[in-house]
């Protein structure tokens, strides 16, 4: 049974998974919030409402060393880390469909030793605010058996265009997860770096 995280909560991934994790998936999902113009619930369900039915959210992962210096970034402009340990499955420009809309695969066993933390973010590249986003979540999945380890529901709707989601980090020889959930603004992770770095 996956743990449902609260903002600020920290967990051990291995303990929650019941096994030593080597490969995980960070999944991100969202829907377009229904508006009266789109015919309410049915409009959002069937994609009514013209040009505002899709939101291009972009998931990114930034790798940091122990000095909180960025080492590499995985995003729609670079879908794989230079060392090959992290791979982004590609950009979803609508949020349509059930389940994960974007997935970042992480091979924890291949993360270089000098990498201390991985910070995951999501941005609205088109500049639409999170007032237009509903049912957003991020989740950690054990890639070995596709079981969900932890889920963090992102209820923060508002005028921001980005969220600093979570951090996966090394602590006493194990990987832990910290649910951050801080709002921010920016179209790509580059814009967020001043807000991301304190959490690294």
| Per-residue confidence (pLDDT) for residue 53, from 0 to 100 | 62
41 C-beta neighbours (distance < 10 Å), count: 9
* Residue pair 114/68 in contact by the 8 Å Cβ criterion: no
pLDDT tens by residue, 140-150:
999 999 999 99
83 C-beta neighbours (distance < 10 Å), count: 14
User: How confident is residue 39, by pLDDT bands cut at 50, 70 and 90?
Assistant: very low
pLDDT tens by residue, 74-119:
999 999 999 999 999 986 554 455 578 889 999 999 999 999 999 9
| Per-residue confidence (pLDDT) for residue 74, from 0 to 100 | 96
User: How confident is residue 44, by pLDDT bands cut at 50, 70 and 90?
Assistant: very low
Query: For residues 19 and 157, which has the higher predicted lDDT (pLDDT)?
Result: 19
Distance CA 77, CA 73 (A): 9
176 C-beta neighbours (distance < 10 Å), count: 18
Distance CA 182, CA 131 (A): 15
* Residue pair 57/44 in contact by the 8 Å Cβ criterion: no
**Which of 11-25, 96-110, 160-174, 175-189 has the lowest average pLDDT?**
96-110
Q: Is the pLDDT of residue 18 over 80?
A: yes
* Residue pair 77/90 in contact by the 8 Å Cβ criterion: no
Q: Is the pLDDT of residue 123 over 60?
A: yes
Average pLDDT over residues 152-160: 80
């Amino acid at each position: 049974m996956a743990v449902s995280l609260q903002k600020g909560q920290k967990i051990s991934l291995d303990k929650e998974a019941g096994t030593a994790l080597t490969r995980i998936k960070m999944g991100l999902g969202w829907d377009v919030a229904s508006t009266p113009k789109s015919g309410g619930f049915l409009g959002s369900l069937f994609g009514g409402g013209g040009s505002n039915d899709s939101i291009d959210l972009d998931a990114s992962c930034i790798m940091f060393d122990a000095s909180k210096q960025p080492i590499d970034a995985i995003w729609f402009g670079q879908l794989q880390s230079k060392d090959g340990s992290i791979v982004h499955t590609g950009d979803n420009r609508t949020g349509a469909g059930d389940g994960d809309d974007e997935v970042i695969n992480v091979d924890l066993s291949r993360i270089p030793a000098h990498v201390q933390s991985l910070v995951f973010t999501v941005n609205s590249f088109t500049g639409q605010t999170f007032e237009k986003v509903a049912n957003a979540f991020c989740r950690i999945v054990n890639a070995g058996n596709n079981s969900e380890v932890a889920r963090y529901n992102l209820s923060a709707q508002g005028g921001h265009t980005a969220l600093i989601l979570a951090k996966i980090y090394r602590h006493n020889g194990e990987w832990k997860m910290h649910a951050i959930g801080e709002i921010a603004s920016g179209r790509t992770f580059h814009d967020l770096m001043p807000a991301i770095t304190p959490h690294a």
